[in-house]
Structure formats: structure tokens, C-alpha cells
Amino acid sequence: MPIATPEVYAEMLDKAKQNSFAYPAINVSSSQTLNAALRGFAEAGSDGIVQVSTGGGEYLSGPTVKNMVSGSVALAAYAHEVAKNYPVNIALHTDHCPKDKLEGFVRPLLAISAERVARGENPLFQSHMWDGSAVPLEENLEIAKELLALTKAARIILEVEIGVVGGEEDGVAHEINEKLYTTVEDGLATVEALGTGENGRYLTALTFGNVHGVYKPGAVKLRPEILKEIQDQVGAKVGKERPFDLVFHGGSGSTLEEIRAAVDHGVIKMNIDTDTQYAFTRPAAAHMFANYDGVLKVDGDVGNKKAYDPRAWGKAAEEGMAKRVVEACEHLRSTGTSLLA
């Protein structure tokens, strides 16, 4: 099917929340990783989200070009074409965008979608993230409020981060401390500034000990119960059950119990990057080790074209990543839930 329309994306998110499951949101940085994600979603019978970060956008434009908008537009155009071949719905999203990159990333992409919508077309991306975790909450929400008006006009969903995710991703780094836990007061300030949907739909990344990067289970204390506390208390205040559409960031190394608990409390999107990067690279590394004398021209030999052809190890890499996407769907209970099933 083609990339999800705004209406289909909204239906996807509503179904996830109503049925207590979440969509894996897979970061991609090439046509190969995109194809791997699409294959994984199709094999799981799950709709899904594919996303590109500022660094991913730069890489997609060419490592010497480093134009995050050009790379992101190219990825979206490619995705709109190849996604037609898969029997699931796919939404396109842009990941973490800090304040210093808004003018060079999200705002230009929003302008492109606004122009498309004005012509009667669908937006290029279905959602964009504003990462205001590095600025004071008041400023974070002021910017979010302005962006929400723009995304609503462009038929796009905004994602905001209320709290701090530890670790580092694409140059945005935070310490691992008490700031990793969003408070009820933060949640109340969010609905006061952005509303509960009447001003435009938004996804909320509330933090409960999340850390980007690689870590083993138990290394970081995740407290998914914080999500329930915020949903309950803010919900009571605004008269709406589970008012937030939640996003789980920094989930690598989380236990299945922690993941399922977060989903039970309203998480409908979980970002997955580190694990799928490894799942893609590991088979490629295995191929290189197993075909050492084929991929290298050892002692002046000519090597083995069948071994060093990028398609040889690329297929293995894509298969490995696709399997990890299938596993993510199982963990998040989205297997077999496609709107097209």
C-alpha cells in the first residue's frame, strides 16, 4: 500500500491505543535499512512507522553533502514508491530535532508539506518531532505550541518530548540523573499549553528513566508506573481517560516486562534504532569474516566478485534487521494488527 494518509495514520494510532499495543518506529538511514524495515513489518502483519533523524537525513543526502532536508526528502520519495509493494500501512516520521536544527530541518520539511497540502496532496511526512528537552519546559512548550499550529495546518502530527532522555543520539546528550523522570506537573503544563487534541494532535514522549544508546537490562532504572501516574492525574484534571498518546524513547536493553508495562499505560509508538543497527551490521560482519579471502584481494589475487558484491552481504544485513523488526512487533503486540488484515 502507499504511505499512510493522515486519516489512515490517525486510525493506526487510535487502534493501537484502544487495543493496548504499540508500533515500532524504526530509524533508517539508507534505502537498504528502509527496505529491511518494510520487510519486517510485512512479515509481522503489522503497520508501522519509519523515521529519519537529522544525522540520518544528512547521511542520506551523501556524506560529503550533509543536507538533512535533501536526504529526508529523498528518503520520503523513495519510501512513497517502494512501500506500494507491501501489504501494510507505513507512516513516515522525523526523529529528534533540537532547537538549533529546527530552521534547517523541521521547518523546511513542514513548508514542503504545507505546499503539497495546498495543492490538494498529502503531506510528505506524517509526523515530525520537536525535541525541546535541552531547553526549559516553558520555552519547550512555547515552541511546541507554535509548531502544533503549523503541523495541524499541514495535516501532520507533532511529537514532543516532555522530560529528558539520557545518553546521546545525533549530538543531543543528557546526563543520567533525576531529570530522566517526567512529573505530573510537567504533564499538566503540557495539556495547558497544547490542549488535548483540539489544537492539533500530538504525541508525547514522557520520560521514565529512558536512555539512548547501548545498555544492558538493569543498568538504568525504568519506572513505567510514572506513565500511569501522569495519565491518571492529568486525565482526572481534564476529564479524559489516558489523555496522552505516548512514545517510548531510549528502549534498547529494556526488559519485555518493562516494554509491556509502558504499552499498558498508553505508549503507542516505541523508537528502535540501536538494536536494529546491530541486527543489520552483524550479518554483514559475519559475511566478511566467512569470506575473508573473497572480499579482499589477498596476496595480489582478484578476490571473489560474488563475495564482495554489496548485494551479497546487503541481503543478509536486510534479513537480519527485518527479523529484529518482527521481534519488535511481537514485543509491542502489533503483530497481525494491520488495518489491512
Q: What is the full DSSP assignment across 181-235?
A: B--HHHHHHHHHHH-SSTT--EEEEE-BS-B-S---TTSS---THHHHHHHHHHH
Q: How confident is the model at residue 215 (pLDDT cuts 50, 70, 90)?
A: low
Q: Read off the amino acid at residue 317.
A: A
Per-residue model confidence (pLDDT) at position 7: 98
Question: Grid coordinates in use for 201?
Answer: 494532535
Q: Which residues are catalytic?
A: 95
What's the pLDDT band for 179 if we cut at 50, 70, 90?
Answer: low
Residues linked to residue 166 through DSSP beta bridges, in sequence order: 211
**Between 225-238 and 256-264, two packed helices, what is the crossing angle to 10 degrees?**
0
Q: How far is the C-alpha of 57 from the C-alpha of 68, rounded, in Å?
A: 4
Q: Are 248 and 204 in contact (CB under 8 A)?
A: no
From 24-33, 45-54, 120-129, 204-213, the region with the lowest mean pLDDT: 204-213
**Are 207 and 163 spatial neighbours (Cβ–Cβ below 8 Å)?**
yes
Is the model more confident about 168 or about 15?
A: 15
What lies within 8 Å, CB to CB, of 171 at 6+ separation is 55, 98
**pLDDT tens-digit series, residues 72-121:** 999 999 999 999 999 999 999 999 999 999 999 999 999 999 999 999 99
How far CA 159 is from CA of 85, 206, 248, 251, in Å, comes to 28, 11, 11, 17
Q: pLDDT tens digits for 216-231?
A: 555 567 889 999 999 9
- Select from 5, 60, 56, 10 the least CA-distant residue to 276: 56
Residue 91 pairs with which residues in a beta bridge?
A: 49
pTM above 0.85, yes or no: yes
Region 130-139 average pLDDT: 94
Q: Cell for 156?
A: 501532520
Query: Hey, CA dihedral for 240, 17, 256, 96, is it positive or negative?
Result: negative
